[in-house]
A and B are shown apart, each in its own frame.
Chain A
């Protein structure tokens, strides 16, 4: 019940295209859903996050779509650029419990 399942494992998108990464969870107690971006040899950096009281959050080219009834959320990267090539992790958190539960990660490659 603590798992967060992420797909796809890897994704190749052409420059200017839309990258979409999906995550699903089981535990309805999760109340905070961040996405992290990680470059090789670096730690994860918070990209964008959402709480379950909203269905969508947009920050620049990055959008989270959240479907509470389906227990799914996704990251959309619009106008994908080669600099977006990285590994992306979704995560979920129960605010009081502090522990982040990470998805398996998606290695995104944007071809120029």
Chain B
């Protein structure tokens, strides 16, 4: 089946550091990728939708200058958390949609970000 790979799985870094998270679709071309944030014991909150070759669409309340999204190819999207602070600590999950068929989103295994 379809696989989405997310890297790294865990990041611990100091406040003020910028952190990049990669999301790759391994066996299909993902015309659209999604980035979610999940707090403990809560549901997934959509942060932004990215389409290959165009600017990401951010959900209301999500700072686009804080969370930079790049979707440069049909198999790779990146999320950069710029100048991260402790309140940015969370579980970040990407998903990808197979544009060739009417498929549901396939999710990565998430990145646990901890800002000290």
Contacts and interface: CB of A to CB of B under 8 A. Distances in A.
Contact of B43 (A42, A93, A104): A104
Contacts, number: 46
A45 B107 contact: yes
Contacts of B42: 104-105
Interface stretch (B62-70, B75-83, B108-116): B108-116
Interface residues of B, number: 22
Interface string B85-116: 00000000101010000101111111010000
Interface residues of A, number: 21
A99 B93 contact: no
Interface of A: 32, 34, 36, 41-46, 49, 89, 93, 95, 98-100, 102-105, 107
